Homo-oligomer: A and B are copies of this chain.
Amino acid sequence: MVTLAEVAQHAGVSASTVSYVLSGKRSISANTRQRVERSIRELGYHPNAGARALASSRSNIIALMVPLRTDMYVPVMMEIAIAVATAARTHGYDVLLLTGEEGPDAVRRVAGSGLADGMILMDVELDDERLPLLRATDQPSVLIGLPADTTGLTCVDLDFRATGALCVEHLAKQGHQDIAVIGEAPAVYERHTGFAERTLDGLRSRSRELGVRLLHRPCDGGYDAMAVTLARILDERPGTTGIIVQNESAVEPLLALLRQQGRAVPEDVSVVAICPDQVATQASVRLTSVAIPAQEMGRHAVEHLVAKFEGRGSDEVVLIAPELTVRGSTGPAPTRP
A102 to B81, CA, bound (A): 15
Given A44-B112, A66-B82, does the pair A253, B284 have CB atoms closer than 8 Å? yes
Question: Which A267-283 residues have C-beta < 8 A from chain B?
Answer: 278, 281-283
* Cβ-defined contact, A59 with B49, below 8 A: yes
Q: How far is the CB of A74 from chain B (nearest CB, A)?
A: 5
A323 CB-CB contact with B under 8 Å: no
Copies of this protein, total: 2
Q: How far is the CB of A129 from chain B (nearest CB, A)?
A: 18
Question: Which A248-276 residues have C-beta < 8 A from chain B?
Answer: 249, 252-253, 255-256, 259-260
A78 CB-CB contact with B under 8 Å: yes
Cβ-closest chain B residue relative to A220: B282
Q: Which of A93-101, A148-156, A161-169, A307-315 contacts B (4 or more CB under 8 A)?
A: A93-101
Q: How far is the CB of A277 from chain B (nearest CB, A)?
A: 11
* Cβ-defined contact, B99 with A97, below 8 A: no
* Cβ-defined contact, A78 with B89, below 8 A: no
Q: Which of A17-25, A50-58, A190-198 contacts B (4 or more CB under 8 A)?
A: A50-58
The bracket for how many chain A residues form the interface is: 35 or more
A85 CB-CB contact with B under 8 Å: yes
Q: How far is the CB of A63 from chain B (nearest CB, A)?
A: 9
Question: Which A291-320 residues have C-beta < 8 A from chain B?
Answer: none
* Cβ-defined contact, B94 with A115, below 8 A: yes
On A, residues with C-beta under 8 Å from B are 1, 44-54, 57, 59, 61, 64, 66, 68, 70, 74-75, 77-79, 81-82, 85-86, 89, 94-99, 101-102, 108-109, 112-115, 221-223, 249, 252-253, 255-256, 259-260, 278, 281-285
20 contacts between A and B (CB under 8 A): A47-B113, A48-B114, A49-B53, A50-B50, A53-B54, A68-B82, A70-B79, A70-B82, A74-B78, A78-B81, A82-B99, A85-B97, A86-B101, A89-B101, A94-B98, A95-B97, A222-B282, A252-B253, A252-B256, A253-B282
**A-B contacts besides A46-B109, A81-B97, A252-B253, 6 pairs, CB < 8 Å:** A49-B53, A50-B52, A53-B54, A81-B81, A97-B97, A256-B259
